[in-house]
Amino acid sequence: MRTPLCRAARVVTVVLLAACAAPRSEVAIARANDNRVAAGERVGDTLTLRLIAQRAKWFPASDSGPSITIGTLAVEGQQPVVPAPLVRARLGTLVRMSLRNTLTDTLVLCTPLSSTCAPRDTQPILPGATRELSFVADRAGAYVYHAVKLSGHKLIVGTELSGLVGALMIDTTDAPRANERIFVIHGWQKTGDDSGPFMLAMNGKMWPHSEHFDLAVGDSVHWRVLNATGSDHPMHLHGFYFRVDARGDLARDTLYAPNDRPFVVTENVRPLQSALISWAPARPGNWLFHCHKGSHMSGQQLYHLAGIAPPDSFATHDASDHVAKTMAGLILGISVRDTATAQVADAPPAARRIRLHAREVKQFYHDKSSAYAFALDERTPGDDASRTVPGPLLTLTRGEPVEISVINELRAPTTVHWHGIELESFYDGVGGWSGSTGALAPMVAPSDSFVARFTPVRSGTFMYHAHADEIRQLASGLYGAIVVLEPGARWNPETDHVLLFSQRGKDDSAIVALNGGEPADTIRLRAGKTHRLRFINITVEDDVSGTLHAHSDSTPLSWRVVAKDGMTTPAARVKPTPARVYMGPGETMDAEVTLGAGDYTMDVRSFNNFPVVLRVRD
Ligand SMILES: [Cu+2]
């Protein structure tokens, strides 16, 4: 059966390298590598590093919990680490690496600055052999380096994604930045056929055993995120925007000019890419930085690690269980303490009250399974009350306090996350985590309710969605769009259009749909007017891409991207660009387009492909 898990697993190609029947011997214990200490010896302008590829037991959760035996890298004479040792050198350094292969597979060492790792220029390292490799660190940035398995003349896709991956960091200065950290996202999958159970970790540990950050209001942090897996990871920060300072891949890492650094709440880091992000917590409380793909943050991974089939549902009434057992994988916890100078204003009384009901709608999907749907007591402007899924469009006003009562009429507990909204931690929607010690947000039990209070500080396109048992609750329909308008502005359905992509149901026939529609909606536009297209991806774990073109010509039209994740693009940076979109789950993007009369198509590519038709008439 195709479940959302194996749907994700299709693109997570991770192979257990040590599964290749190495002779039984004493297996070393690997420790989690937090990437704070660089490996090797530096003498003058030369860094020398001797690595050994060896089998070792990796403990992705607790150090005393279950382990898996994988191929790892160690510095000669030291304990193996997962991910592989941090190679860090100043720009211009001569890096001399050697790799001794004690595994039973032939390996190739791929370092971004020295080789593309295409089969023709590989240097096979036979079992038992050692090879040396030198290169000048001539491109600043952060890169993934990895050893992969060579079989015949082919590199085995996926084998690089075991424990043989690490970070290569080339600095322009010796001075470390405050709160600078490097995170390597890596994974493991039981089988090499893309369908088996998998686990994902950051710096060798999966939530709830991943690193927890204690920060103070106003601290600044600079994080390098490197994706050493075969899957996209849309990394989402709760409560705050972060600035994207640099993006890179195996070839180069590009530091953006100061005025070209976007502020986002979700950045999709694709395979073997990196991102340098900076942010400063402005409000105290508990927050998360996590991958937005449902299975990548699901407690299923703890079951896979323990070798137990996970349950069908991850609903829990117990808030502490929610944190410890139903969430796992690519999540970092952040606790921000208040400082003497920080002022947290009491929420002013809300003039606007909204009652949002979470309800079960029986026999809704193809397989007759129920929808979990949001509904309002009263309609809001722009909402299409004929829709069950997605939930109602919430049109809010910048600066206007709002109180939203979430009334849970489901049989399962839930919580609602106001995605992209800069609010107090307690209302952020992670049961057992949001808030601070002594005042943690609860799970919203069946027949119970929770009142979220916030005042939107910026206008833009946001979303709300369940933040509990995501694989079931997001697949079942618990999500909707939030559009925050400027004071005095009114929702104009003639020129303002929400295009929300989501997964309809969790059975084998589940598809990605636009605004809940099957087939996708036809959108009718007035010719000659400037239209704002507000794209939202709240699929469980599918990337969505699309190109807008005339029916008769596949050349992309041009549009202007005016916002990302609700953050308005500075006017100086808005320019016509080809009308293409590529979004991971948890991203929003606003584009403005002006079209003449005619028929246009947006070819949407996702788990399934479908056209969105725009009919433009005078
Ligand atoms: Cu992910």
| CB within 8 Å of 595: residues ≥ 6 apart | 525, 527, 531, 557, 614, 616
Residue 581 neighbours by CB distance under 10 Å: 21
User: How much distance in Å is there from the Cα of 97 to the middle of ligand 1?
Assistant: 31
User: How much distance in Å is there from the Cα of 60 to the middle of ligand 1?
Assistant: 16
CA distance 432 to 557: 47
- CA nearest 342: which of 219, 447, 236? 219
User: How much distance in Å is there from the Cα of 273 to the middle of ligand 1?
Assistant: 13
User: How much distance in Å is there from the Cα of 333 to the middle of ligand 1?
Assistant: 16
User: How much distance in Å is there from the Cα of 103 to the middle of ligand 1?
Assistant: 29
Buried b (16+ CB within 10 A) or exposed e, 377-389: eeebebbeeebbb
User: How much distance in Å is there from the Cα of 292 to the middle of ligand 1?
Assistant: 6
Token output for 82? 């997962």
CA distance 395 to 385: 14
For the stretch 122-173, pLDDT in tens is: 678 999 999 998 999 999 999 999 888 887 766 665 555 578 999 999 999 8
* Owner of token pair 């705050």: 240
User: How much distance in Å is there from the Cα of 496 to the middle of ligand 1?
Assistant: 31
User: How much distance in Å is there from the Cα of 236 to the middle of ligand 1?
Assistant: 10
For the stretch 330-347, pLDDT in tens is: 999 999 998 755 444 556
Strands 221-227 and 352-361: unpaired
User: How much distance in Å is there from the Cα of 542 to the middle of ligand 1?
Assistant: 10
User: How much distance in Å is there from the Cα of 340 to the middle of ligand 1?
Assistant: 37
User: How much distance in Å is there from the Cα of 466 to the middle of ligand 1?
Assistant: 17
User: How much distance in Å is there from the Cα of 521 to the middle of ligand 1?
Assistant: 29
* Owner of token pair 């599918």: 542
User: How much distance in Å is there from the Cα of 475 to the middle of ligand 1?
Assistant: 16
Q: What is the 3-state secondary structure (H, E, C) of 341-406?
A: CCCCCCCCCCCEEEEEEEEEECCCCCCCCCEEEEEECCCCCCCCCCCCCCCCCEEEECCCCEEEEE
Q: What is the pLDDT of residue 397?
A: 96
- CA nearest 227: which of 613, 584, 497? 584
| CB within 8 Å of 573: residues ≥ 6 apart | 259, 260
pTM (2 d.p.): 0.93
User: How much distance in Å is there from the Cα of 270 to the middle of ligand 1?
Assistant: 9
Buried b (16+ CB within 10 A) or exposed e, 398-423: beebbbbebbbebebbbbbbbbbbbb
State the DSSP code for 28. Answer: E
CA distance 79 to 521: 57
User: How much distance in Å is there from the Cα of 583 to the middle of ligand 1?
Assistant: 13
Give bridge partners of residue 214 from the DSSP assignment.
Answer: 335
User: How much distance in Å is there from the Cα of 293 to the middle of ligand 1?
Assistant: 5
Q: Which helix (H) or strand (E) holds 533?
A: strand 530-537
User: How much distance in Å is there from the Cα of 66 to the middle of ligand 1?
Assistant: 22
User: First vs last Cα of the chain: how many Å apart?
Assistant: 48
User: How much distance in Å is there from the Cα of 162 to the middle of ligand 1?
Assistant: 16
DSSP string, 559-587: EEEEEETTEEPPGGG--EEESEEEE-TTE
User: How much distance in Å is there from the Cα of 157 to the middle of ligand 1?
Assistant: 19
User: How much distance in Å is there from the Cα of 230 to the middle of ligand 1?
Assistant: 10
pLDDT under 70: residue ranges of the chain: 1-25, 114-116, 118-122, 153-161, 176, 191-195, 340-348
User: How much distance in Å is there from the Cα of 314 to the middle of ligand 1?
Assistant: 18
- CA nearest 30: which of 1, 7, 63? 63
User: How much distance in Å is there from the Cα of 235 to the middle of ligand 1?
Assistant: 7
User: How much distance in Å is there from the Cα of 502 to the middle of ligand 1?
Assistant: 17
Give bridge partners of residue 558 from the DSSP assignment.
Answer: 578
3-state helix, strand, coil in the chain (%, to 5): 10, 45, 45
Q: What is the pLDDT of residue 158?
A: 55
Q: What is the pLDDT of residue 5?
A: 34
User: How much distance in Å is there from the Cα of 435 to the middle of ligand 1?
Assistant: 25
Q: Report whether 266 contacts 296 (CB < 8 A).
A: no
User: How much distance in Å is there from the Cα of 237 to the middle of ligand 1?
Assistant: 13
User: How much distance in Å is there from the Cα of 185 to the middle of ligand 1?
Assistant: 9
CA distance 99 to 7: 35
User: How much distance in Å is there from the Cα of 585 to the middle of ligand 1?
Assistant: 9
Strand order in the sheet with 416-419: 394-397, 479-485, 460-466, 416-419
User: How much distance in Å is there from the Cα of 578 to the middle of ligand 1?
Assistant: 27
- CA nearest 140: which of 115, 113, 117? 113
User: How much distance in Å is there from the Cα of 187 to the middle of ligand 1?
Assistant: 10
User: How much distance in Å is there from the Cα of 229 to the middle of ligand 1?
Assistant: 9
User: How much distance in Å is there from the Cα of 406 to the middle of ligand 1?
Assistant: 28
User: How much distance in Å is there from the Cα of 4 to the middle of ligand 1?
Assistant: 13
Give bridge partners of residue 86 from the DSSP assignment.
Answer: 38
User: How much distance in Å is there from the Cα of 289 to the middle of ligand 1?
Assistant: 11
User: How much distance in Å is there from the Cα of 45 to the middle of ligand 1?
Assistant: 38
User: How much distance in Å is there from the Cα of 200 to the middle of ligand 1?
Assistant: 8
* Phi, psi angles (nearest 5°) of residue 84: -60, 160
User: How much distance in Å is there from the Cα of 276 to the middle of ligand 1?
Assistant: 17
- Which residues in 425-478 belong to E strands, given as ranges? 435-436, 439-440, 449-454, 460-466
Token output for 24? 């039984």
User: How much distance in Å is there from the Cα of 576 to the middle of ligand 1?
Assistant: 31
User: How much distance in Å is there from the Cα of 329 to the middle of ligand 1?
Assistant: 9
User: How much distance in Å is there from the Cα of 366 to the middle of ligand 1?
Assistant: 27
